[in-house]
Structure 1
């Protein structure tokens, strides 16, 4: 027997999922931020490319994106019985975790080239996940478009850092630099 949920039941399901997903996405983002930070001697010593925005921008943008991502995933999760729901959620989760690992690679490991590969793979997975999400809930796909734009910008910025700092920056653990003049 097929029984359709009422509009009120659908809204309640979305609200419950949103109350779970938004904090979960924020928590994952905050946890990832603990794996590396721009507050290092290494990063301070890097030449900043022209497209590098003011540092306060990153926290604001990520907070807004995390909320949008959480709402998008709540829309998909609350689509009970929708074809491809599980695949869309699973692929997006893998992609999101990969994106969050970028912080550890770029700031924690101080490896800009590996970080570029991470953000590139993340962007590719997002391009695969987005149509799946879109098929389940179009609104969810629309909510993820700013995230796609930011991942693309992050890749361009990462590349710009590599170009501006071809030596990879000073990676000494204590931040000390030794210069020898002959």
Structure 2
């Protein structure tokens, strides 16, 4: 039985556009929302015991955004189908939520709303990874570290709210803030 040869022509060209675009956009949003350590609102908050050191976030997010860009490029390099269109739309939706999270949490100090956003992001990212895996298995697997990090980020978001009652600018009664 003859197997169709995969045509990866153009894959790395797409990746060299997608990955830097996602890294730059994510970094810019992080800077504009004053995310992480150095934020006058965030620095004095009690942090969960399992929180990674501050330097790890830049390294991890740069790596994850790069992997996401390569995964997207791999899917975009496949023939256009309704499944691919759905997968790319879901990827865009979860990435939009990803980019919205830092301004909501660090900029507007809305811990509970950020928790809702990250939970929706996690659901969309899980669905995206599943669809990416159907289209191009390596693309789905490239999203696995992102999914694991989102689980950690969700726990950090929740615990930050729980440990800092009164810190949420618009509490929804979810994390106790």
TM-score by length of 1: 0.84
Aligned to 1:168: 167
CA deviations on 1:113-171 (whole Å, 9 max, x unpaired) are 111111011111112222111111010000000000011110000011011112216x7
Asked whether the equivalents of residues 126 and 148 of structure 1 are also in contact (C-alpha less than 8 Å), the reply is yes
Structure 2 CA distance for aligned equivalents of residues 144 and 82 of structure 1: 21
Structure 2 CA distance for aligned equivalents of residues 99 and 40 of structure 1: 19
Cα-Cα RMSD: 1.7
Aligned to 2:93: 94
Structure 2 CA distance for aligned equivalents of residues 95 and 166 of structure 1: 28
Consecutive unaligned residues in structure 1, runs of 5 or more: 172-182
Report 1 or 2 for greater relative contact order, CA contacts < 8 Å, sequence distance ≥ 6: 1
Aligned to 2:174: none
Which residues of 2 match residues 29-40 of structure 1 at below 5 A? 29-33=26-30, 34-38=32-36, 39-40=38-39
Question: 1:6 and 1:141, CA in 2 relative to 1: closer, same or farther beyond 3 A?
Answer: closer
CA deviations on 1:74-119 (whole Å, 9 max, x unpaired) are 1000002455111111111111110121100000001111111110
Asked whether the equivalents of residues 132 and 139 of structure 2 are also in contact (C-alpha less than 8 Å), the reply is yes
Aligned to 1:57: 56
Structure of larger gyration radius: 1
Structure 1 CA distance for aligned equivalents of residues 115 and 12 of structure 2: 36
Q: Please state how far the C-alpha of 1:6 moved relative to its aligned partner.
A: 6.5
Asked whether the equivalents of residues 129 and 141 of structure 2 are also in contact (C-alpha less than 8 Å), the reply is no
Aligned to 2:175: none
Asked whether the equivalents of residues 36 and 106 of structure 1 are also in contact (C-alpha less than 8 Å), the reply is no
Q: What secondary structure does 1:41 align onto? A: coil
Consecutive unaligned residues in structure 2, runs of 5 or more: 170-177
Asked whether the equivalents of residues 22 and 69 of structure 2 are also in contact (C-alpha less than 8 Å), the reply is yes
TM-score by length of 2: 0.86
Asked whether the equivalents of residues 21 and 74 of structure 1 are also in contact (C-alpha less than 8 Å), the reply is yes
